[in-house]
Amino acid sequence: MTEKIGVLGKKPAQRTGVERIVNAPLPTVYGEFRAVGYLDHDRGDEQVALVHGEIGAENVLTRLHSECLTGDAFGSQHCECGDQLASALRAVAAEGSGVVVYLRGHEGRGIGLLAKLRAMALQAEGLDTVEANLALGLPVDARDYGVAAGILHDLGVNSVRLMSNNPRKREALTRHGIEVTETVPLLIPPCESNITYLRTKRERLDHHLPHLDAVAHLR
């Protein structure tokens, strides 16, 4: 099948950025949301923003949540991702309005599911999460938040109160034209299975996790 050629024999321009595809009601155990679906033309990923209530342009309570199959779907205690997602959805519902942008393609801080599982296997042998990625020849954090900013722009959001412990998210949104007026901590009580992971995030990835000081007894 031959490719269609446009005017003057030129190929049609390829689309870039994010495109809104669908807006559907999504009743959840946390409350009523709208699932606004997007296509990322640059990477081919399908993305979704969960919107609760009538959001304005300024100071919108917002979570950028990186996809984590093991934590979000399987309830893994290796990380705190599933609990963070649930807490963010509850917080948005309690606020009366807000957005949770669920970022697909961010599995394992951007290295993918199988690579993340390989890194977890190395962590079980004694490496921390940073050392494991490097041992596999992979970046420590390969995530990009340009798509998240594009989604927020499309939703009419100019500034956010960002639910995050990760300063890199704040910096990334600011670079992409979204003002962060406040960082709202999203602190999950640690357990024995994830305390080492969380301490590594604080000590090596600069996450703000002051609540870990109260659980020095966990190893």
Residues with a catalytic annotation lie at 141, 143
**Quick check: 78 and 71 in contact, CB under 8 A?**
yes
Cα–Cα distances in Å, from 79 out to 1, 68, 71, 96? Answer: 47, 9, 7, 28
Helix (H) or strand (E) holding 218: none
- Rounded Cα–Cα distance for residues 213 and 210 (Å): 6
- Rounded Cα–Cα distance for residues 51 and 119 (Å): 33
Cα–Cα distances in Å, from 172 out to 3, 51, 69, 91, 186? Answer: 38, 21, 23, 23, 18
Determine the 3-state secondary structure of 100 from DSSP. Answer: strand
Helical H segments across the chain, by residue range: 81-95, 107-110, 113-124, 129-135, 146-154, 167-175, 195-205
The shares of helix, strand and coil residues in the chain, as percent rounded to the nearest 5, are 35, 25, 40
The tokens for 193 are: 């299975």
